[in-house]
Structure 1
Amino acid sequence: MVTERPRPTRRGEIAEILRTKAGGVTETRDEADKYTVVGAARRRTFANWLTPVAEHFVCHRNDIPDVDAETWTVSLTGRASGALSVADIESGFPTVAVAHTMECAGNGRGQHRPETGSVQWGFEAAATALWTGAPVSSILRASGVDPPNESGENDVGDESDERWLTAVGGDPSDDGDVFARSIPLAKAFDDCILAYEMNGEPLPQEHGFPVRLIVPGWYGVNNVKWVDELRVMDSMVVDGSLDRPGEHAFWQQVAYRIHPRGVDPEPNASVEAVDTWEQLEGAVDHPYTFDENVKSVIGTPDGETTVTPKHGAVEVRGVAWAGDDAVDRVEISTDGGRTWNDAELFGPAYAGAWRLFRYDWRAEPGRHVLLSRATDELGRRQPARISEPDEWRDALDDDAYPWNEGGYAANAYEPNAVEVDVRG
């Protein structure tokens, strides 16, 4: 059984990451001393569309593997067959770039009261980068995998095609588990890539060098680093699914499931709904963290310095995202949530990546509490708060996000407020 024993080697990894990122990130509290976790050091990171590598959060549980890119291979197994070197991936398939807002599924865990889990993220575990690599669809077609129905009838999660792609990471574990995550094959064919570059530069070691899976719009845990196997299966990964020793299903069927306190979620071979919010509304017992819930963060003003209006106004700027869905609306409150006004969406509008927003605030002198809340194209709006643990069933109907034992997929807006002093 996977445990949360302290990992002393994380200290060296964190120190090296902090050194190479040169102040763009800061260490995040991990009560288990198990994870290597750093997040954006400044709120201003969330005022820009593209996140520099130096400001991009990092999260992983096992040691970074010792990689020789010349000998690293990705095995294609299950309904696929073959093996690819990094050179094969780089030169043997089309090269594409995708914009992806990566958010840790535990982002916001530290806003749960009582606290839950080990890594106490605020809102700093989200970032948008441009990832370059080979389309997973091209790789799978070349290995003999038929695509989902190309008529358009098989959407992601459609039960008419229940095949799944399981990505296995090559990071070593001292607990006997294998880091494996499954996504619907339809999603893999739609927009996923095996990436070897990040923001136009070779993939950094801590971000999955030499190759990682990128699943646009889906929580970071699905974006497996250091990929060494892609397995096409008739189900999600369960124990015994892989042709290797160790525990196979922990990271799919136990961890990263959303459930109330004291519950052990049952494993599933497949689920019909992969939209995380739809699952929360009752489509799946104890939802899986697949696509990202609608969320927003104000980047500026950042609350660190007193603000002086220019021509009577202060520009409020930030980012909003909604996983596989588009952001439809962002509202801004400058009085702690009593009144709201629409912000303007602007800048790049790529599927799977966040949108910029701005609002010209006619600011009066004094201290103000600024909030942002986003609504996606399906009309789902960020809730105000995280519920109490015993409010699980009624939380969504009470403008609250359900407190859950793992602290996953939280998107309440009140915890992300920024207090701003305006000079007269």
Structure 2
Amino acid sequence: MKPPSRGGPADQLVARSVDGMTLGTPVEDVMDGRDAMLPVGMNGEPLSFAHGFPVRMLVPGLYGHVSACKWIEDIELTTCADYDPYWVKRKWARKAPVKTQSRIDTPKPFARPKAGTVMVAGVAWAHHRGIERVEVRVDDGPWRPADLADQDTVDTGRQWSFPRKATLGGHTLTVRATGRTGTVQTGKRTRTVADGASGRHSVVVTVD
């Protein structure tokens, strides 16, 4: 690992890939106790080429453009003032923590379930914070709490389910999550650039 090239506190790890890609990762996130790693194997086998052989970087809680360099040949300890990695040069965020998010996996969009009890279910995540609560709304009704499965660690997703008594006609199902720090998933929709998409997932179904 190369030391910083200039004065000032080092605040960025720049990983360089054999294909010329560069990714910058905030030092504070690598060193705060989360399971940041440089894997060389997976499931008891050497890391495959598709997954980044011979070594890659993984930092839970950060989006991939600042944390998931594959085929690493060099890592430099530097400063943000000294160097702009590939995605930063293209106006992506230098710091990109994964946002509190959730999704509906079942029923699928435009499904046609039968009237009666329909199980609405999916997964929620708030990496490095954990999920405290998931709520589901039908049309413009009130938010109702979903049932939560156990969460292995704060860096993994949490499954949720919501048994709903479905009535005839078309309905919009929407989900939102709340992290253990109290942050509620925003309803404001944004694009992926610069620091990850946001908004609430919804599906439209028709009950026969």
Q: TM-score if structure 2 supplies the norm length?
A: 0.82
Question: Please, which of 185, 197, 203 is the counterpart of residue 410 of structure 1?
Answer: 197
Check 1:369–1:182 CA distance in 2 against 1; reply closer, same or farther (3 A cut): same
Select the residue among 107, 111, 119 that pairs with 1:315.
Answer: 119
Shift of 1:326: 1.7
Q: Go from structure 1 to structure 2 and tell me whether the alpha carbon gap of 1:313 and 1:296 turns closer, same or farther (over 3 Å shift).
A: same
In the alignment, the residues of structure 1 paired with residue 95 and residue 11 of structure 2 have an alpha-carbon distance, to the nearest angstrom, of 15
Which is bigger in relative contact order (C-alpha 8 A, separation at least 6)?
A: 2
Matched, 1:223 2:62: no
Q: Does 1:303 align with 2:121?
A: no
Deviation at 1:198, TM superposition (A): 4.2
Considering fraction of residues, name the structure with more helix: 1
Check 1:313–1:197 CA distance in 2 against 1; reply closer, same or farther (3 A cut): farther
SS of residue paired to 1:313: strand
**1:347 shift after superposition:** 3.1
Change (3 A) 1:185 1:382: closer
Do the aligned partners of 2:18 and 2:73 also contact (CA within 8 Å) in 1? Answer: no
1:349 aligns with 2:148: no
Please list, as runs of the form range in 1=range in 2, the aligned pairs for 1:269-418 lying within 5 A after superposition. 288-303=94-109, 305-308=111-114, 312-335=116-139, 337-386=140-189, 406-413=193-200, 416-418=201-203
Shift of residue 199, structure 1, vs aligned partner: 5.3
Give the Cα separation in 2 of the matches to 1:385 and 1:189: 29
Structure 2 residue 17 is matched with structure 1 residue 181: no
| 1:194 to partner: Cα distance | 0.8
Change (3 A) 1:213 1:188: farther
- 1:342 and 1:164 map into 2 onto residues whose CA distance is 40
After TM superposition, give the deviation of residue 171 of structure 1 in Å.
Answer: 4.0
Q: Which has the higher strand share?
A: 2
TM-score, scaled relative to structure 1: 0.43
The structure 2 residue matched to 1:172, chosen from 19, 25, 35, is: 19
| Equivalent residue, structure 1, for 2:2 | 77
Q: How does 1:2-401 map to 2 (within 5 A)?
A: 76-78=1-3, 162-173=9-20, 178-185=21-28, 187-188=30-31, 190=33, 191-198=35-42, 202-221=46-65, 222-233=67-78, 235-236=79-80, 238-239=82-83, 249-252=85-88, 254-257=90-93, 288-303=94-109, 305-308=111-114, 312-335=116-139, 337-386=140-189
- Partner AA of 2:17 in structure 1: G
Amino acid aligned to 1:306? R
3-state SS of paired residue (2:87):
helix
Looking at structure 2, the residues matched to 410 and 297 of structure 1 have their Cα atoms a distance apart, in angstroms, of 13
Aligned length: 203
- Structure 1 residues 409 and 210, CA gap change in structure 2 (3 angstroms): same
Query: What is the root-mean-square deviation in Å for CA atoms of aligned residues?
Result: 2.7
Identity among equivalent positions (%) equals: 27
Structure 2: unaligned runs, 5 residues or longer: none
- The residue identity in structure 2 corresponding to 1:172 is D
SS at match of 1:232: strand
Deviation at 1:189, TM superposition (A): 6.2
1-side partners of 2:185 and 2:47: how far apart? 33
Native 8 Å contact 1:195 1:211 kept in 2: yes
Kept in 1: contact 2:134–2:176 (CA 8 A): yes
* Structure 1 moving runs of 4+ over 4 Å: 198-202
Equivalent residue letter for 1:196: V
Q: CA separation of 1:202/1:308 partners in 2, compared to 1, >3 Å: closer, same or farther?
A: farther
SS in 2 for 1:77: coil
Q: Deviations over 1:15-44 (max 9, x none)?
A: xxxxxxxxxxxxxxxxxxxxxxxxxxxxxx
Structure 2 counterpart of 1:329, one-letter code = R
Q: What is the identity, as a one-letter code, of the residue corresponding to 2:96? A: F
CA distance in 2, matches of 1:332, 1:408: 26
Post-superposition offset of 1:167: 3.6
Structure 1: give runs of 5+ residues left out of the alignment. 1-75, 80-161, 240-247, 258-287, 387-400
Q: Is the 8 A contact 1:213 1:225 kept in 2?
A: yes
- Deviation at 1:305? 3.7
Separation in structure 2 between the aligned mates of residue 307 and residue 201 of structure 1, nearest angstrom: 43
Report the CA distance between 1:295 and its aligned residue.
0.6
Quick one: which amino acid aligns to residue 345 of structure 1?
L
Q: Is the 8 A contact 1:166 1:181 kept in 2?
A: yes
* 3-state SS of 1:362 partner: strand
The 2-side partners of 1:359 and 1:228 are apart by 47
